Amino acid sequence: MDKQEISKDVFEDRGTRVKGDVAYIVPTFFYQWGEHRHNGTFARIGLGFGLGVTRYTGNIELFPSNNIVSFSDKSYELDFAGGIFVEARYRHWGIRISAAGPSFEDDEYEYNVSNIAFNLGYSYYF
């Protein structure tokens, strides 16, 4: 992660770096409207809860004070992870938006790691 959000939707390289590993398992329950056939039309919304692990090291710049904070966690301690998704399909075209990841905290800060994905696709059945 090389860029930080310095204001809403504005990202800038401030010379800070965060590196690490993330893994999570989030079973998701969903509700579906419509028919799931090869040419069906449907919409789904889902919510999931699970567990995740992180290992990270780096530094960040806090705003508005501009203080540089270094942090590190070298363990793979299990933490809560959550996820959401929205999916829709009309005939062969589909769209899916999903976000998931763990949340954890130390003595001073709370951290949220998110994996956000947007998929647009066309399904051809043969």
Q: Does pLDDT of 11 surpass 80? A: yes
In total, how many domains does the chain have?
1
Average pLDDT over the chain, rounded to whole? 86
Give the list of residues 6+ apart from residue 12 with CB closer than 8 angstroms, or none: 3, 4, 6
pLDDT digits (tens, 9 = 90+) for 64-98: 777 888 877 777 888 889 999 999 999 889 999 99
Q: Which DSSP string corresponds to the chain?
A: ---EEEETTEEE--S--EEEEEEEE--EEEEEEE--STT-EEEEEEEEEEEEEEEEEEEEE-TTT--EEEEEE-S---EEEEEEEEEEEETTEEEEEEEEEEEEE-SS-EEE--EEEEEEEE----
Q: What gap in Å lies between CA 123 and CA 93, rounded to an integer? A: 7
Give me the percent of the chain exceeding a pLDDT of 90: 34
CA distance 113 to 49: 14
Give the structural domain span for 82: 4-122
pLDDT digits (tens, 9 = 90+) for 18-70: 888 888 999 999 999 998 777 789 999 999 999 988 888 888 887 777 788 88
